[in-house]
Structure 1
């Protein structure tokens, strides 16, 4: 039975892939595992009835697997790893939480007027130190794993949104972070599943109140 996935459509362009980092995480997982799938673009400002019927919560992503619709990117990624274990995207448990606070500190800095970038820099410094002390180019070594596919969309949003709204960029001194971002953004799966920058900006614009 074919896999189907519902993901966010672009703001103002319902026929174009949108900017949801959690949707992209699922798409990245499907691509890295070379799994065929049918993608449904969901206009979150005008959700179709069939989508709300199968997913009353109305959030994306949602994956149809074994005939059932399953929400939540954490659950979806875990299910895909169990059902399709090869190629493995498992992250060693000791590395699973690397970078886990980058998204929350990025969002706080982006959406709060006069916010300090200190908490975000603290998290990026921690990522830099991890990458510096371990063989890369990815979190767990030479092979991309689930933690990378979770971080990649978040770092992309960070780069695009903070650059646009706050003229802020990752400090050049964080060379390992820059190299890591380049490695992630160069993946064929990432190129195929990323939203255009203008749609990332459009997606964040309503949340930036200054």
Structure 2
């Protein structure tokens, strides 16, 4: 992984033959999604971090909007975290991250789509887009999770993927990691409702110990420090 986030005057690092390269940003949950999938599949790769406030000109040739993540295999570039995750699962099929059963695979994809509500609500809370008390955002985050609690309880397994995490687990993790950040940004404490979400609380604890996930985790304090500076003119991407 590149130690620094490359900015406007940075040159594009030359790619090696056979290199799988992920363009990302250290604190981006969508980048983290892809990093976890790459780890879960044991795919050798390099991460090149991009300064999203001051992107290098050459990066717009890779992603026209200058966003992350973007995956470059040397032969093709894939954009958007969900598309990249599915691309990796098809191109590198071992281990598979979706169930073999077509109906179960379809159900996992349905829940990935439903999780978009949590992603959107959490994003609004992290950036306080509506200038509201954090409690107002938490309602929109927690309500959709009731269906996920019921689903995992019904499956009767540690992870949505069974005894081991699958694609749905990995896609969800970055937002679980950030669950306490919106409250901390408003100098409040957030305690996940264990009595209402006992299965998801156990799931979260188990996910923290998964090797593919552990390597990508950022502390609560660092998330808060980054986001407090991100709205400024020159946010700090490095040295955090």
Give the TM-score, by structure 1 length. 0.84
RMSD: 2.1
Whether the aligned pair in 1 keeps the contact of 2:22 and 2:71 (CA below 8 Å) is yes
Q: Can you list the C-alpha shifts for 1:8-28, whole angstroms capped at 9, x where unaligned?
A: 1xxxxxxxxx21111000000
Q: Single out whichever of 94-103 and 186-195 deviates more from structure 2.
A: 94-103
Alignment match, 1:178: 201
In the superposition, relative to structure 1, how do residues 130 and 163 fare at CA in structure 2: closer, same or farther (>3 Å)? farther
Distance 1:104 1:36, change over 3 A: same
Q: Which entry has the higher C-alpha Rg, 1 or 2?
A: 2
Q: Which stretches in structure 2 are left out of the alignment for 5+ residues?
A: 1-17, 100-104, 232-240
Q: Is the 8 A contact 1:161 1:204 kept in 2?
A: no
Per-residue CA shift, 1:68-115, capped at 9, x if unaligned? 222111111111111111100115211333361222233345524132
CA–CA separation in structure 2 for the residues paired with 1:105 and 1:46: 26
1:137-192 deviation digits (Å, cap 9, x = unpaired): 11132121111111000111123333443422211212111111111121111111
1:143 paired to 2:164: yes
Counting only pairs closer than 5 Å after superposition, residues 9-88 of structure 1 correspond to structure 2 as: 18-88=26-96
Q: Pairwise mapping of residues 78-117 of structure 1 onto structure 2 (< 5 A)? A: 78-91=86-99, 92-98=105-111, 100=115, 101-109=117-125, 111=128, 112=130, 113-114=132-133, 115=136, 117=138
Gaps of 5+ in 1: 9-17
Pairing 1:158-173 to 2, within 5 Å after superposition: 158-165=179-186, 166-173=188-195
Instruction: Name the residue aligned to 2:218.
Output: 195
Q: Shift of the alpha carbon at 1:116? A: 5.6
Aligned pairs, how many? 198
3-state SS of the aligned residue for 1:5?
Answer: strand
Structure ranking higher on relative contact order (CA contacts 8 Å, 6+ apart)? 1
Structure-2 residue corresponding to 1:6: 23
